[in-house]
Amino acid sequence: MYPRKKKKVKQKKRNKKMSSSSSRNAFEDGKYKTDLLTLDSSSRCCKMMPASRASPSPPKQLLVATPVEEGEYPVVMLLHGYLLYNSFYSQLMLHVSSHGFILIAPQLYSIAGPDTMDEIKSTVEIIDWLSVGLNHFLPAQVIPNLSKFVLSGHSRGGKTAFAVALKKFGYSSDLKISTLIGIDPVDGTWKGQQTPPPVLAYEPNSFDLDKMPVLVIGSGLGETARNPLFPPCAPPRVNHREFFRECQSPAWHFVAKDYGHLDMLDDDTKGIRGKSSYCLCKNGEERRPMRRFVGGIVVSFLKAYLEGDDFELVKIKDGCHEGVPVEIQEFEVTI
């Protein structure tokens, strides 16, 4: 079904017009109605429980996108990027959730520390909380399927996701991670200037993830500085290319041409940090196509590896999916 050897191709320019929404187009909204919830220390359980068995509040504030229809759904945790808010990912989260997934985005910090150790520790604490707390804060008819748990992250959050999955720095959870996703992951500003503790070892196929399927998504403009005053937001030697290079199979790598490191965020990101997200990185013309691309690739990958439905992932791989909203600059897969 998939090539046995590493394959790298440049896709031909495609018609960027998205096809009409359907159950077989992961790049458009799915069939499930969704809701966006905020959970923190003041949140009350949605499901009735005796006072003596009240569920503990989450360790960090969480943004949750969930289907509202009755059912059992896989759970995807999304870790935000450097100095960003989890709320900046709400449109992406709702897109993925509409295809039958529960999305959990913790706010790991307000002010970033000099290293990612606190983020790694907090991520593990939240993962451990999911088994005892998440179910009680969801709508009564919605059940989280934690046997299909996905860890993902964007930018510095992508680095954190890899660090947790690799169990490198003394923190690990009992909950098994089914698949790992890095959305334009970044390990620092340059080789030798990695944010401590470094994740990249600069040894091909050195990530020992016990055959965990991995998806790495990159931005074509991430390596380009917006102006001489600011460095690239996803610099060479510490970005998606190196993360994919160190993955063992099965691993997938997609790069979107003409879109930047923050182009998967919401159209309207408020506040000083939200406004700065338009100024610090080299961006594409608009965010919606990149956001739809990231959402669609994530959905197609998860359908393939969690549900055994590889219809759309194969079509994307073969370059014949008419719904792809951007030009794919590079594609690699190791199986």
Annotated catalytic sites, by residue?
Answer: 155, 184, 261
Instruction: Say which residues have a Cβ less than 8 Å from residue 243's Cβ, sequence separation at least 6.
Output: 158, 162, 182, 185, 187, 199, 200, 216
Q: What is the CA radius of gyration of the chain?
A: 19
For β-strands 34-39 and 179-183, DSSP reports them as unpaired
**Cβ atoms within 10 Å of 272's Cβ, excluding its own:** 7
Beta bridge partners, 72, equal 143
Give CA–CA dist 57/50, Å, rounded: 15
Tokens of residue 208, six digits:
């020992």
φ, ψ (nearest 5 deg) of residue 244: -65, -40
Q: Are 284 and 258 contacting, i.e. CB atoms less than 8 angstroms apart?
A: yes
Q: Are 112 and 139 contacting, i.e. CB atoms less than 8 angstroms apart?
A: no
DSSP letter (8 states) at residue 79? E
- H/E stretch holding 245 reads helix 240-245
